């Protein structure tokens, strides 16, 4: 039986581990975090990624924790409704709804019946790639027939493979958190985006009465729940309430970064997946979706070509165009959500008021699930 190592045990890593086991490999997942470490916030999962979860055998576990959404509404910060997307229509058109899920619940769904060894507290420090791969760490070196680096945007595996393209700061930051109690005026199956002046935010129900929220700003902002609440003073709607209902220590704060797309992200019996391969800004909510799609494409390529360098190159070729397009689009869309000038905001409101069917048609390539 061929052996494979996956570096990184989050969305991309666990999806890749499922793909490799389904392709017949004995898989070891190496994860830097200790078991039980915090699992992040929430995610929107679109139909193509749900289809990937189905192919990877994790759809039932996903369905048991995800919240199928009826709608995604867009407001301005004074509470005026600018656009309302019928998310239920996605299920009719594409076979799966848009769903909200807590990242920790998605990781558990990916772990469900995963036939792989998962080692926590294992930080990979280097890599040697020949006909096989050797993984270096503070422990004895590990060898395997193949390796997938799914170790996030600052991937060690990526640098060890010699692929450049440093992460690029966008100039924006985001606060994120999960409110533990829904508020009275909140509809439990509707997500929302709120476009403000020089920033945007939003919320997504993620089940068990929890609501994931996010808020963006410019680089130089300070972290912490109190600053997020200060920013939201004067905004209509429940966003500030969700922030206030989050434990201060649980509020995440990050620079938003991405990386120029690469044509190749593998060498020999090693490849990359998820943010390590194609980090994108969160403006289209696609990073984790693409990590799941990577897993499904990897499984298909390995089934066709076998667990060998040709299989990995076929997977990279299958994924390059779509992910590169999303990296670029996410970069273009982000500033639109951050527009400040009154004239620009009027234009944005007018664009958002266009019939949803129009924008949906333009995005068919993203939503449509290949069979
Ligand atoms: C504000 C915000 C909102 C977002 N919203 C959405 C959304 O709605 N929908 C969506 O699809 N995406 C969204 N994303 C993007 C999404 O979170 C990421 O694209 C996705 O989580 C990437 O998953 P990953 O597994 O590739 O990387 P990561 O989640 O970064 O996981 C990498 C893993 O590798 C481990 N690791 C790192 N280095 C090592 C090492 N040397 N050795 C061993 N282990 C290592 C880490 O501990 C980690 O567990 C959002 C991102 C942000 C910032």
CA 94 to ligand 1 centroid distance, Å: 26
Name residues contacting ligand 1 (CB within 6 A).
Answer: 7-13, 30-33, 43-44, 123-124, 150-152, 156, 174, 176, 214, 254, 256, 274-276, 282, 285-289, 291
Q: State which fold the 3-168+258-367 domain adopts.
A: FAD/NAD(P)-binding domain (3.50.50)
From atom 26 of ligand 1, which residue's Cα is the shortest distance away? 274
Reported as a pLDDT band with limits 50, 70 and 90, residue 328 is very high
CA 236 to ligand 1 centroid distance, Å: 31
CA 245 to ligand 1 centroid distance, Å: 24
- Tell me: the pLDDT tens digits for 24-76? 999 999 999 999 887 889 999 999 999 999 999 999 999 999 999 999 999 99
**pTM for this predicted structure:** 0.97
Alpha-carbon gap, residue 184 to 209, rounded angstroms: 11
Report pLDDT for 196: 95
Cβ-based burial of 290 (10 A; exposed 0-12, middle 13-18, buried ≥19): buried
Domain-wise residue ranges, the chain: 3-168+258-367
Q: Which residues contact 135 (CB under 8 A, 6 or more apart)?
A: 5, 7, 30, 124, 126, 127, 141, 142, 143, 144, 147
Alpha-carbon gap, residue 49 to 105, rounded angstroms: 15
DSSP code, position 369: P
Alpha-carbon gap, residue 93 to 154, rounded angstroms: 37
CA 233 to ligand 1 centroid distance, Å: 30
- Tell me: the pLDDT tens digits for 225-237? 999 999 999 999 9
């Amino acid at each position: 039986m061929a052996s494979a190592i996956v570096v990184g045990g989050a969305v991309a890593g666990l999806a890749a581990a499922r793909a490799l086991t389904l392709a017949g490999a004995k898989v070891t997942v190496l994860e830097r975090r200790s078991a039980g470490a915090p699992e992040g916030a929430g995610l929107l999962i679109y139909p193509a990624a749900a289809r990937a979860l189905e192919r990877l055998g994790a759809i039932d576990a996903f369905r048991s924790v995800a919240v199928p959404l009826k709608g995604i509404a867009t407001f301005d910060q004074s509470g005026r409704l600018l656009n309302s997307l019928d998310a239920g229509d996605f299920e009719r058109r594409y076979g799966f709804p848009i769903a909200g899920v807590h990242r920790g619940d998605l990781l558990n769904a990916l772990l469900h019946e995963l036939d792989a060894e998962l080692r926590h507290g294992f930080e990979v420090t280097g890599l040697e790639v020949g006909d096989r791969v050797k993984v270096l760490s503070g422990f004895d070196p590990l060898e395997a027939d193949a390796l997938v680096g799914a170790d996030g945007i600052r991937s060690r595996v990526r640098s060890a493979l010699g692929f450049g393209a440093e992460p690029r700061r966008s100039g924006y930051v985001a606060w994120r958190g999960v409110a533990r109690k829904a508020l009275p005026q909140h509809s439990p199956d509707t997500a929302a985006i709120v476009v403000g002046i020089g920033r945007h935010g939003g919320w997504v129900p993620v089940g068990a009465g929890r609501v994931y929220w996010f808020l963006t700003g410019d680089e130089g902002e300070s972290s912490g729940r109190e600053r997020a609440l200060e920013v939201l003073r004067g905004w209509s709607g429940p966003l500030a309430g969700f922030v206030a209902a989050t434990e201060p220590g649980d509020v995440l704060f990050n620079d938003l970064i991405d990386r120029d797309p690469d044509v190749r992200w593998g060498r020999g019996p090693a490849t990359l997946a998820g943010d390590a391969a194609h980090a994108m800004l969160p403006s289209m909510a696609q990073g984790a979706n693409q990590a799941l799609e990577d897993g499904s494409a990897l499984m298909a390529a390995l089934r066709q070509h076998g667990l060998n360098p040709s299989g990995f190159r076929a997977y990279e070729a299958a994924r390059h165009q779509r992910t590169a397009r999303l990296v670029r689009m996410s970069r273009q869309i982000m500033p639109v959500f951050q527009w400040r000038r009154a004239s620009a905001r009027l234009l944005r409101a007018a664009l958002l008021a266009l019939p949803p069917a129009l924008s949906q048609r333009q995005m068919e390539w993203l939503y449509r699930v290949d069979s």
